């Protein structure tokens, strides 16, 4: 294992053990439930959007370390972003975890880059992207959205 992989492993375990923004957001303007039947991961993502900007984002749920850590890192990354910026960030994150991204881009993604090791385990990509798909599904419509990986 390289030093970088060690560091990434530490970031994932830290977010899994002490997830950030792991709570119900009472005054959320958008929310979505996400389910990944392959692994059994379940998430609810809550967002509060004001004047087109994500001012708060939280999640709750249960599942594997990858899905929980990814959701935690995502909530930290999305605050202060517009919907377009969130979509752009997801595209870059998605190409990283599917192995299509390059290392230079990974450096700009900060803690999100810690999930890059997922690209070696194709079946875990859905664990890593579940929170993102749920957040974007929530942003795409008013009220409740449900997202299921298939
Ligand atoms: Zn999972």
pLDDT tens column, 85-135: 999 999 999 999 998 866 666 777 889 999 998 998 999 999 999 999 999
In a domain, 147, yes or no: no
Domain of residue 11: give its range.
3-141
Average model confidence (pLDDT) for the chain? Answer: 91
CATH number of the domain at 102, please: 3.90.1010.10
Q: How far is the CA of 129 from the centre of ligand 1 (A)?
A: 10
Q: How far is the CA of 130 from the centre of ligand 1 (A)?
A: 9
Q: How far is the CA of 50 from the centre of ligand 1 (A)?
A: 31
In a domain, 148, yes or no: no
Distance, CA of 90 to CA of 41 (rounded, Å):
19
The pLDDT assigned to 8 comes to 86
Q: How far is the CA of 22 from the centre of ligand 1 (A)?
A: 17
Q: How many domains does the chain have?
A: 1
């Amino acid at each position: 294992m390289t030093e970088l992989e060690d560091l990434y492993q530490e970031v994932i375990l830290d977010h899994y053990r002490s997830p950030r923004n792991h709570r119900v957001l009472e005054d959320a303007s958008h929310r979505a439930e996400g389910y990944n039947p392959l692994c059994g991961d379940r998430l609810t993502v809550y967002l509060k959007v004001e004047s087109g900007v994500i001012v708060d984002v939280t999640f709750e749920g249960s599942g594997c370390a990858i899905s929980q850590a990814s959701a935690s890192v995502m909530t930290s990354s999305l605050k202060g972003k517009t919907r377009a910026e969130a979509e752009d960030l997801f595209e870059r994150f998605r190409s990283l975890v599917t192995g299509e991204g390059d290392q230079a881009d990974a450096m700009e993604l900060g803690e999100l880059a810690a999930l890059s090791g997922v690209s070696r385990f194709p079946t875990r990509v859905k664990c890593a992207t579940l929170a993102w798909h749920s957040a974007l599904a929530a942003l795409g419509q008013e009220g409740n959205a449900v997202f299921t990986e298939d």
